Structure 1
Amino acid sequence: MRHTWRWFGPLDRVTVQDAAQAGATGIVSALHHIPTGDVWPQDEIAKRHAEIRAGGLVWDVVESVPVSEDIKTQRGDWRAHIVNWSETLRRLAGSGIRTVCYNFMPVLDWTRTDLRWETRHGARAMRFDLPDFVAFDIHILQRPGAAEDYPAALADEAARRFAVFSDSRIADLSRNIGAGLPGSADGYTLDQLRERLATYAGIDADRLRRHLTDFLAEVVPVAEQVGINICAHPDDPPWPLLGLPRILSTEGDYRAMLDAVPSRANGVTFCTGSLGARSDNDLPAMAARLAERIHFVHLRNVTREGEETPCSFFEDEHLEGGTDMVAVIAALLAEEARRRAEGRADAEIPMRPDHGQDILDDLTRMAQPGYPAIGRLKGLAELRGVERALSHPRLGIGA
């Protein structure tokens, strides 16, 4: 696999040179300052390439070109936004980019209740606390009908939690849950979040899935033409939130998407952390069955605090948690070997050590939540070690 590293641009407190020293060979980045729905300017694309080359690496993967809420709801300027998204693909391809990640999560991107939760040994990690989230939904956001969406025992526990919340905890939950895409300046106040949720009235999972298919029907032919693989990131966490549908949470969801637009250019961002929050997702088996259409891989691990869906979970060390990371990597290496035998140009799958715990100097660096320097360095080293061992000639998986 190609070892990449997410970099949020010049304001990132972890530099491209840091990534190179950690062992990365390529960078995953995006133009977070360009408004969603706009075409990415060619000079800004060139500038980002130059910034990354100056640090000693190359820009391998775009994560992400955001899909606007207008596209997801098919309201407002949605058709113009699809045209602009396609034009951005053309410009990125012209600059040498061959992999573009995106997501189709309504309103919220990845959602956590805690961005720096203290683990057993003093590291800091991101966490989704289900009762706290329910307390936010019912008592802070006060979404109409929210209480009916949860089992009575869970709603009661949320009420007990809310009764003792401090003002700072309420503010933290509102800020953490209302955050926008990682690296962006977007985010929602409570009133803005309520307004956004209202735009999805009447849009259930089936309708949202049709909107995704309509989007792909327009942009995938462009991706094929310019030689780019686009790959959808899974829902994070992989279940409905705040009454919103989620349509990329399981293998069946992905199979429906891939079958609807059966082009190799239409593929999967295989995120073991997002998908691993569901106990019914068998990650090694999913990696093997979806392998031909996996174009980008996020490797991280979560520890679930229950086997039901939804559940509380936290982001554990890369080789800990509920996912058999060795088996997942073995499946991906087998796919790379198959692609090499076919002579495919995309035989080497880009991966990145996704997220990481704040450890050692990370605890004072205060980088983008989930994206520390040393925590990701540790994760990348562990993942590379697994890959190197499985690729050894005596085992031959990646030979």
Structure 2
Amino acid sequence: MKQTWRWFGPHDLVSIDDICQAGAHGVVSALHHIPSDAVWTPDEIAKRHSEIATMKDGSASGLTWDVVESLPVSESIKRQVGPWRDHIEAYKQSLRNLADSGISIVCYNFMPILDWTRTHLNWRLSNGATCMRFDLVDFVAFDLCILGRAGAENDYPAEIIAEAKTRFNAMSEDRRAELERTVAFGLPGSVENLTLDDLRALLETYADIDADTLRANLVAFLEEVVPVAREVGIRMCCHPDDPPFGLLGLPRVMSTEADYAFVMQAVDVPENGITLCSGSLGVHPGNDLPGMMKRWGSRVHFIHLRNTKREGQNLPCSFYEAEHLDGDTDMVSLIEQILREEALRKSAGRSDWNIPIRPDHGQDILDDLNRKGQPGYPAIGRLKGLAELRGVMTALSARLDRLGG
């Protein structure tokens, strides 16, 4: 398992030097400043490679850019409106340019409008650490009382609606403003946040798009771009919905194993693959992460190892970002299945046997609490998570070696 680290570029408060000291072997990054309808040019790609390869004092970092996360899919492509065909051509050219630079794995997602969604970016735990949280009641309060979405009351049980209205009435103005900013926080690394008017306008554009339509549009997108990826040697991998249930009346189509099975079978080539995010998928009680890795491991190109703790078995539900070894996902069993898949690939002579993983998200602890870095991506919290995961990997690798795999 190749241990990687997400880096948001030169403005990230976690530096390339920090990543080296954390012991990561590679970097996951993206060109967040480039709009989703534009081509990633060779010059911009080369610049990011150079930034990753260089420490603050100018010496070589020894790190390589191993995974693109994400090459974003425009809303026009998701809805198949406007210049969506031009956007697909730009996407294809970006894939070619990335391949020319040596990149072989590209992560993307197909979530409408909002990327990962939370109601708290620094929810306090009993030990004083903070983490990201999705509180269903607070989210319903946002939907009903701040956004004022038409028809929202039809989407939630009466008792949740009553609780949300009571909670909203008790909220301070500061908390209301914080909730608005947090829900519309947007894509990690993005410099753009949505206003309420932006969000209302975008929601209106999805009024006639249901899950079947969005799923069909995803397959159509893949039918266009995967042949190019296959031609240039790139493995594409779709990130699951986060959280894995519908929000704001929007369809979500990559939340379960069945969703992945449909898309993998619709475009049935190895280059059409999976980003196995144990945190996002783990919120859904029907998802068996070790089992998914066992059944679909040959199509898993990239892995996010994090854990979440849900506060109910029904969906939607509240949940928070737990410690890496202390949530609803059996992380030890999942890592064992990853190692078994790597052994199968190695014995089959696959060049991609060493699957890149990264410690996803993390709780803010120690100096993270003062650093105020990218929400969800603290330096020390992720370092703690990587150290714990590394210990599990090392112990399981030794045991599997003794048992002959």
Task: Compute the TM-score of the two structures, normalised by the length of structure 2.
Answer: 0.97
- The 3 A distance-change label for structure 1 pair 321 and 394 is closer
Structure 2 residue 367 is the aligned partner of structure 1 residue 340: no
The answer for unaligned runs of 5 or more in structure 2 is: 56-60
Q: Which residue of 2 aligns with 1:29?
A: 29
Alpha-carbon contact 1:101-1:269 (below 8 Å) kept: yes
Amino acid at match of 2:392: V
> Partner of 1:88: helix, strand, or coil?
helix
Q: Which residue identity is paired with 1:207?
A: T
SS of 1:381's equivalent?
Answer: helix
Deviations 1:337-391 (A, max 9, x none): 0000110111111000000011001110111000011000000011011011110
Q: How far apart are 1:398 and its partner, in Å?
A: 8.5
Letter matched to residue 85 of structure 1: Y
Residue in structure 1 matched with residue 180 of structure 2 by the alignment: 174
- Specify the alignment match of 2:2 in structure 1: 2
1:316 is matched with which residue? Answer: 322
Deviation at 1:148, TM superposition (A): 0.7
Q: Report the Cα distance in structure 2 between the residues aligned to 1:396 and 1:54, rounded to whole angstroms.
A: 39
Aligned equivalent of 2:369: 363
Q: Cα offset for 1:396?
A: 4.6
C-alpha distance in 2 between matches for 1:66 and 1:180 = 12
Determine helix, strand or coil for the equivalent of 2:263: helix
- Say if 1:319 and 1:325, in contact at 8 Å, map to a contact too: yes
Judged with a 3 Å threshold, the aligned counterparts in structure 2 of structure 1 residues 398 and 327 are, in CA distance, closer, same or farther, namely: farther
- AA of the residue aligned to 1:28: V
**What do the CA deviations read for 1:124-156 (whole angstroms, capped 9, x no partner)?**
100000000001001110000001110111111
Runs of 4+ in 1 over 2 A off after TM superposition: 393-399
- Report the alpha carbon displacement of residue 336 of structure 1 after superposing the two structures with TM: 0.5
2:280 aligns with: 274
Are residue 154 (structure 1) and residue 150 (structure 2) matched? Answer: no
Q: How far 1:227 sits from its partner (Å)?
A: 0.4
Q: Is 300-309 or 229-238 further displaced after alignment?
A: 300-309
Provide structure 1 residue ranges, at least 5 long, that are not aligned to the other structure: none
User: Secondary structure at 1:280's aligned position in 2?
Assistant: coil
Task: Give secondary structure in 2 for the equivalent of 1:290.
Answer: helix
Q: Which residue of 2 aligns with 1:82?
A: 88
Distance 1:7 1:214 in 2: 31
Distance change in 2, residues 1:29/1:397 (3 Å): farther
Letter in 2 for 1:268: I
Contact 1:333 1:398 in 2 (8 A): no
User: Which of 138, 142, 145 is the matching residue for 1:136?
Assistant: 142
Distance 1:47 1:342, change over 3 A: same
- Give the aligned partner of residue 305 of structure 1: 311
Could you tell me which amino acid in structure 1 is paired with residue 136 of structure 2? L
Query: What pairs with 1:16-95 in structure 2 (closer than 5 Å)?
Result: 16-55=16-55, 56=61, 57-95=63-101
Say whether the 8 Å CA contact 1:336–1:398 is kept in structure 2. no
Amino acid across the alignment from 2:218: L
Say whether residues 1:126 and 2:132 are aligned partners: yes
Say which SS state the counterpart of residue 217 (structure 1) adopts: helix
Over the matched positions of the two proteins, sequence identity in percent amounts to 61
User: What does 1:178-327 align with in structure 2 at a 5 Å threshold?
Assistant: 178-327=184-333
Q: Is the 8 A contact 1:334 1:398 kept in 2?
A: no
Size of the alignment, in residue pairs?
399
Deviation at 1:395, TM superposition (A): 5.1
TM normalised by structure 1 equals: 0.99
What's 2:389 paired with? Answer: 383
Secondary structure (helix, strand or coil) at the match of 2:9 reads coil
Instruction: Give the whole-Å Cα distance in 2 for the aligned partners of 1:187 and 1:365.
Output: 21
Q: In the TM superposition, what is the alpha-carbon distance from 1:393 to its structure 2 partner?
A: 4.9
Q: What secondary structure is seen at the aligned counterpart in 2 of 1:60?
A: strand
After alignment, is 304-313 or 225-234 more displaced? 304-313
d(CA) in 1 for partners of 2:44, 2:360: 25
Q: Residue type of the partner of 1:257?
A: V
Q: Contact 1:45 / 1:92 at 8 angstroms: preserved in 2?
A: yes
What's the counterpart of residue 58 of structure 2? none
Supply the RMSD in Å over aligned alpha carbons.
Answer: 1.0
Q: Aligned partners of 1:106, 1:397: CA distance in 2, in Å?
A: 46
**Which residue of the partner structure matches residue 14 of structure 1?**
14
Cα pair 1:390 1:397 within 8 Å, conserved: no
Given that 1:391 and 1:397 are in contact with CA atoms closer than 8 Å, whether structure 2 keeps it comes out as: no
CA contact 1:298–1:354 (8 Å) conserved in 2: yes
Tell me by how many angstroms 1:76 deviates.
1.0
State the one-letter code of the partner of 1:44. Answer: E
The structure-2 alpha-carbon separation of the partners of 1:396 and 1:247, relative to structure 1 and needing over 3 Å to count, comes to farther
